[in-house]
């Protein structure tokens, strides 16, 4: 399909993204989600054709990262830059956040000339998404009271509940791999826990995956050892989504069994829900000894499940022995990044480039979230961009 | 007044800001100051009307922060971005400043393609403003010798003597609140010390306020416990300004008495001048034990003045019981950001949004300082911007 | 020569810089090198005439600094900004590089919308340049596999072997000082070790200088105390270059003798090659005690050569007693930045402004490396820029 046709197709979507924050995929309609992945795809096409989709002459895109990150940080910076916004990091070391400022005040102080705010806050269970909503409320008030000339949009760059820029990039990747969203119907995807020598990895990726992909009529199987549960409310959402979409959702306690006949496997470590709850309490109390003890216990527990490594043997059990392997990266690769990990080196290598492609959609997903937040009629604005044919590179 | 009228009014001002650093308000003429606040107001209007005042296709705005900061950092970044400059932090951790480089050399090394430099250096009494002038001299030499194709302008983002981007934002805020600069005549403003559980807060805000606002015929009352003096030379400037402008300047040793019939109150903690002198010596010697001892003494001394909290009871004594409350933020709010602080929570809450508005002028004040430093005829350039009607957002 | 003539002259050069990384000057042809300095000169002229050479509407210039830096960091940022790219630091503290990610993966993850990558990695002998080539290979693969829509170019911002942005800036400086590259023929340049109270300074500057300038028919004398050798392979390259260019290359073990009749002197400290080898091993093992012991030994050894200070007495021995003094800055200046150092204060002062000019070429050299990497026909693109006459500053 050519670019103009792609743009015109957007008009059939009834999305409601304008001036709405993107915090959880399950708060968004099908048309919202489709709008995001289609706009992402079009923005990528435009750039690939050396057409600049720059829509801001100035403006800040603030990033608040409460956890380290390479890929999300660069994805966010790339997205902002593509549209003409300049990233300004709200670094807690550089700023006074830690010194008793209220979220309410800070949210306004950083937003006078800000169009978008990206937040990553995935350390504390029950906190990350809540924090984003606190910021949102503060911005609502600031805008209502005339403090802010615009209400900056918020993009969730990963919280305790969801990781929508990841899951949406994954969705676009699947669309590309299988040809269309319709083609995802009836496909079996296994979101599986996998062994890792580290503990305390966030739950947001598996939660984001099961809550989003159950909406597309897929057969989703969540596999993990007993005790490695996700947040129950989100598992509930996945179940309901599957029912409504004509797909299915199952929980399995064996990676080996789960991957049978799978079209897609997503093996990734995470910490059990109840451990994350304990960890959150200890982090809040800054209980170093308690955290160390918890880590020791957890690592010992994890060590019982070293066979939860995805390898060629398990891959052979999948559909035609070649299920699509997915990962949000970086993966814990046995013998490469760790002694024993989530995936065997040879297995990973077969899909390494595919995982790079998967990751490559993220900047455009974020750009699409910004674009749809900022422009009421994305099709119209994209058409203007196309007509203007402003070169991204060159003169 | 519409935008074009506002721009035309600038022509009546005889300012001398072009290629001059903005280091201290008391080095500037009335027309200089009015030019800054009017240009700030116009830049805000332009942006609010979605007209981009971008006047640089490229160029750096270097920031040198020798103290933490959220709001000034974001204000500076927003101002630079609005005009088309990219902020480059001169982070002393990242750079080699600490390793024996002379100011003279570094000032040139960071300025080859730099248009503006913003400096915050408020830790050492007798040092911050001096440092800015050292940088200025180095830049003068570099430009004269053909090392630099342009002489970057310097904006004082807070020093030991003045905080002009704050006091000028405050002035614009007052102009908006009272309708005009003329209306400030005869208004009573109390710049009062207030209790805070921390010690060693800079003197630059109260000094900046009394030195600037005494120029507008206001009745300024500086209130603080005995012993909490500001730099005597600056108090002297305030006195002379008041005399010349037909206003008045008084010192009072009771917050309660001072606020009587006040139109405006600005309650804010600071460290006594003589303590800051001792602190500066100890900081220079890196005398940790000495600093700890000094802090202990000071906090004990401060604790005698916990009743220097601005609350509803004191507000009742002000003009009509509703003096405008001002603060540079963040305030130490009793029961919110600390146990006992500068202001009662309920009192602050009544003016919280107003303090946000107050802070919201700072990015535009900085942008105006940059703009008038860089363009000889601001009215002419602003008119071109207006005529061009380049959208800030959109295509 | 006017700008258009300068641009037209580029057409006579047969350079092969398009889509090629700039890692070592000795991998580049004469025409390549001339193209870089000429484009640098033209970009500087354009900017000095207030013409913006912005050729990117968006795009990232990633910087990877594995060592502190002020001037190279600002030079890189200035170059990127001038052309329209936004710098995004790949800070190892902020990122997950240290946590087992492979170079291969990270190189792709930061490059989806990236046009240029600048790398500084000069700490480990045998590692820096190798690391750059690993990144290069990863980018080649990513581009070949369709992961990256473009292959970002790499600029070596200093490695263990070469410091091409420095040596090329030095070459342009020499061209300006002596009128033309041809005029460098027969000129004597002394690249001399000099005493410094620190140890472990990289070898890349002296290596870069002798390997580059021997190509221009100069008489290069490398002076250092016995035992302070550079990497033998690079000394070998310098010898061959001198032979081929009709110049000469000598090693001398006395600064005093070497500077006799010199046209140019470049006195600068470095660590001996064999010490750097030991240091690299200790750094890899993170052997703190071993590093401390090595430092102690080296400083004691260095202290034997405190007379390797360049001063007026030595300068008198040079051609007409006034050889051009060069330094990459910051210099260790006796009595200024240290007690005893590389150069006497009075001697340095006579050439201080010249060293600033020398440094001032670096941003444009980097911009030229970016420009020639990105545009196949630099003359054509520069002509378009000239014709467009887009103002850098103003409206």
- Same domain, yes or no: A184 and A285: yes
Report the pLDDT value the prediction gives residue C93, as an integer from 0 to 100.
53
In a domain, residue A177? The reply is yes
| Interface contact A337-C102, CB threshold 8 A | yes
At B92, the pLDDT band (50, 70, 90 cuts) reads low
Q: What span, in angstroms and rounded, lies between the C-alpha atoms of B82 and B99?
A: 34
- Same domain, yes or no: C312 and C375: no
Is residue C170 within 8 A of residue C178, CB to CB? The reply is no
In a domain, residue C124? The reply is yes
Q: By the CB < 8 Å criterion, does A374 face chain B? A: yes
Report the pLDDT value the prediction gives residue C98, as an integer from 0 to 100.
41
Distance from CA of C87 to the nearest CA of B (A): 9
Class of residue B337 by CB neighbours under 10 A (exposed 0-12, middle 13-18, buried 19+): buried
Q: What is chain A's mean pLDDT, rounded?
A: 94
For residue A16, the tally of other CB atoms under 10 A from its CB is: 12
The residue of chain C with its CA nearest to that of B86 is C81
Report the pLDDT value the prediction gives residue C220, as an integer from 0 to 100.
98
Q: What is chain C's mean pLDDT, rounded?
A: 94
Report the pLDDT value the prediction gives residue A93, as an integer from 0 to 100.
53
Report the pLDDT value the prediction gives residue B99, as an integer from 0 to 100.
39
Q: By the CB < 8 Å criterion, does C306 face chain B? A: no
Class of residue B31 by CB neighbours under 10 A (exposed 0-12, middle 13-18, buried 19+): middle
Total domains in the fold of chain B: 2
- Same domain, yes or no: C156 and C286: no
pLDDT digits (tens, 9 = 90+) for C289-316: 999 999 999 999 999 999 999 999 999 9
Q: What is chain B's mean pLDDT, rounded?
A: 94
- Same domain, yes or no: A99 and A191: no
pLDDT digits (tens, 9 = 90+) for B267-298: 999 999 888 889 888 888 889 999 999 999 99
Q: What span, in angstroms and rounded, lies between the C-alpha atoms of B89 and B66?
A: 11
At B207, the pLDDT band (50, 70, 90 cuts) reads very high
Number of residues in chain B:
395
pLDDT digits (tens, 9 = 90+) for A76-98: 999 999 999 999 998 765 444 44
In which domain, by residue range, is B239 found? 165-359
Distance from CA of B233 to the nearest CA of A (A): 31
- Given a cut of 70, whether residue B330 has pLDDT beyond it is yes
- Using a pLDDT cut of 90, give the percent of chain C over it: 87
- Same domain, yes or no: C220 and C342: yes
Report the pLDDT value the prediction gives residue C101, as an integer from 0 to 100.
53
- Given a cut of 80, whether residue A67 has pLDDT beyond it is no
pLDDT digits (tens, 9 = 90+) for A143-171: 999 999 999 999 999 999 999 999 999 99
Q: What span, in angstroms and rounded, lies between the C-alpha atoms of A18 and A374?
A: 6
Q: What span, in angstroms and rounded, lies between the C-alpha atoms of A184 and A174?
A: 8
- Given a cut of 90, whether residue C137 has pLDDT beyond it is yes
- Same domain, yes or no: C178 and C151: no
Which of C60, C95, C147 has the CB atom closest to A70's CB atom?
A: C95
Touching partners of B (3+ C-beta pairs < 8 Å): A, C
Query: Could you give the residue ranges of the DSSP H alpha helices within chain A?
Result: 3-9, 30-48, 71-83, 103-109, 128-144, 164-178, 204-213, 232-245, 255-258, 273-285, 288-303, 312-317, 345-360, 362-374, 378-388
Q: Which H or E run includes B68?
A: none
Q: By the CB < 8 Å criterion, does A63 face chain B? A: no
At B94, the pLDDT band (50, 70, 90 cuts) reads very low
For residue C133, the tally of other CB atoms under 10 A from its CB is: 14
- Same domain, yes or no: A185 and A198: yes
- The pLDDT of A308-332, averaged and rounded, is 97
| Interface contact A359-C109, CB threshold 8 A | yes
- Given a cut of 60, whether residue C107 has pLDDT beyond it is yes
For residue C349, the tally of other CB atoms under 10 A from its CB is: 12
| Interface contact A112-B77, CB threshold 8 A | no
- Given a cut of 50, whether residue B230 has pLDDT beyond it is yes
Within 8 A of A356 by CB-CB distance, chain C residues are: 105, 108-109, 142, 145, 147
| Interface contact A86-B73, CB threshold 8 A | no
Q: What span, in angstroms and rounded, lies between the C-alpha atoms of B45 and C118?
A: 40
Report the pLDDT value the prediction gives residue B217, as an integer from 0 to 100.
98
Which of A69, A77, A357 has the CB atom closest to C60's CB atom?
A: A77
Q: By the CB < 8 Å criterion, does C101 face chain A? A: yes
Among C57, C62, C93, C383, the residue to mutate for chain A (most A Cβ within 10 A): C57
| Interface contact B394-A55, CB threshold 8 A | yes
Distance from CA of B257 to the nearest CA of A (A): 30
Within 8 A of A146 by CB-CB distance, chain B residues are: 357
Report the pLDDT value the prediction gives residue C95, as an integer from 0 to 100.
46
How is A107-159 classified by DSSP, letter by letter? HHHT-TTEEEEEEEE-SSTTTHHHHHHHHHHHHHHHHHTTSSSS--EEEEEEE
pLDDT digits (tens, 9 = 90+) for C152-162: 999 999 999 99
Tell me the count of A-C CB pairs closer than 8 A: 107
pLDDT digits (tens, 9 = 90+) for C225-262: 999 999 999 999 999 999 999 999 999 999 999 999 99
In a domain, residue C395? The reply is no
In a domain, residue B395? The reply is no
The residue of chain A with its CA nearest to that of C147 is A357
- Same domain, yes or no: A12 and A146: yes
Distance from CA of C290 to the nearest CA of A (A): 28
In a domain, residue A189? The reply is yes
pLDDT digits (tens, 9 = 90+) for B184-206: 999 999 999 999 998 889 999 99
- Same domain, yes or no: A129 and A78: yes
User: How many CA atoms, within 13 angstroms, populate the side-chain half-sphere of residue C265?
Assistant: 35
pLDDT digits (tens, 9 = 90+) for B240-269: 999 999 999 999 999 999 999 999 999 999
Distance from CA of A257 to the nearest CA of C (A): 30
Q: What angle do CA B108, C205, C14 make, to 5 degrees?
A: 95
- The pLDDT of A338-363, averaged and rounded, is 97
Across the strands, what pairs with B251?
B222
- Given a cut of 50, whether residue C96 has pLDDT beyond it is no
Name the nearest CA neighbour of C266 among C352, C325, C188: C325
In a domain, residue A393? The reply is no
Distance from CA of C129 to the nearest CA of A (A): 23
- Given a cut of 50, whether residue B97 has pLDDT beyond it is no
Q: By the CB < 8 Å criterion, does C180 face chain A? A: no
pLDDT digits (tens, 9 = 90+) for C278-287: 988 888 888 9
Distance from CA of A206 to the nearest CA of C (A): 21
Domain containing A328 — which CATH number?
3.40.50.1370
Q: By the CB < 8 Å criterion, does B84 face chain A? A: yes
Q: Structure pTM? A: 0.97
Within 8 A of C375 by CB-CB distance, chain A residues are: 394
- The pLDDT of B338-349, averaged and rounded, is 96
In a domain, residue B394? The reply is no
In a domain, residue C393? The reply is no
- Same domain, yes or no: C20 and C147: yes
The residue of chain A with its CA nearest to that of B367 is A113
- Same domain, yes or no: B93 and B119: yes
Q: What span, in angstroms and rounded, lies between the C-alpha atoms of A326 and A184?
A: 15
Q: Which H or E run includes C331?
A: none
Among B44, B49, B54, B74, the residue to mutate for chain A (most A Cβ within 10 A): B74
- The pLDDT of C166-179, averaged and rounded, is 98
CA A134 to chain CA centroid, nearest Å: 20
Q: By the CB < 8 Å criterion, does C74 face chain B? A: yes
- Same domain, yes or no: C131 and C189: no
């Amino acid at each position: 399909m050519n670019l103009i046709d792609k743009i015109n197709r957007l008009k059939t979507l009834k999305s409601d993204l304008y001036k709405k924050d993107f915090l959880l995929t399950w708060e968004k309609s099908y048309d919202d989600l489709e709008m995001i992945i289609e706009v992402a795809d079009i923005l990528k096409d435009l750039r690939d054709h050396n057409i600049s989709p720059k829509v801001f002459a100035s403006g800040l895109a603030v990033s608040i990262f409460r956890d380290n990150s390479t890929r999300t940080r660069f994805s966010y910076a790339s997205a902002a830059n593509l549209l003409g916004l300049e990233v300004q990091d709200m670094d807690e070391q550089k700023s006074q956040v830690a010194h008793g400022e209220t979220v309410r005040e800070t949210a306004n102080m950083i937003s006078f000339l800000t169009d978008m705010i990206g937040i990553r806050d995935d350390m504390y269970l029950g906190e990350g998404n809540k924090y984003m909503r606190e910021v949102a409320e503060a911005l609502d008030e600031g805008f209502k009271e005339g403090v802010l000339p615009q209400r900056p949009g918020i993009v969730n760059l990963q919280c305790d509940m969801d990781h929508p820029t990841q899951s949406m990039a994954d969705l676009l990747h699947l669309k590309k791999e299988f040809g269309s969203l319709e083609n995802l119907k009836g496909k079996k995807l296994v979101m599986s826990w996998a062994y890792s020598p580290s503990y305390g990895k966030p739950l947001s990726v598996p939660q984001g995956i099961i809550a989003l992909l159950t909406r597309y009529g897929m057969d989703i199987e969540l596999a993990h050892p007993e005790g490695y549960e996700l947040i129950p409310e989100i598992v509930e959402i996945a179940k309901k989504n599957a029912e409504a979409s004509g797909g299915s959702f199952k929980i399995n306690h064996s990676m080996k069994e789960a991957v049978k006949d799978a079209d897609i496997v997503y093996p990734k470590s995470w910490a059990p829900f109840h451990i994350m709850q304990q960890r959150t309490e200890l982090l809040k109390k800054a209980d170093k000894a308690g955290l160390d003890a918890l880590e020791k216990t957890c690592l010992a527990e994890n060590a019982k499940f070293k066979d939860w490594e995805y390898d060629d043997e398990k891959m052979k059990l999948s559909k035609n022995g070649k299920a699509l392997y997915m990962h949000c990266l970086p993966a814990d690769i046995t013998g490469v990044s760790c002694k024993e990990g989530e995936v065997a080196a040879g297995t990973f290598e077969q899909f390494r480039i595919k995982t790079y492609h998967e990751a490559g959609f993220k900047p455009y997903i974020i750009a699409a979230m910004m674009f749809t937040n900022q422009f009421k009629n994305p099709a119209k604005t994209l058409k203007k961009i196309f007509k203007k044919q402003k070169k991204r590179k060159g003169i």
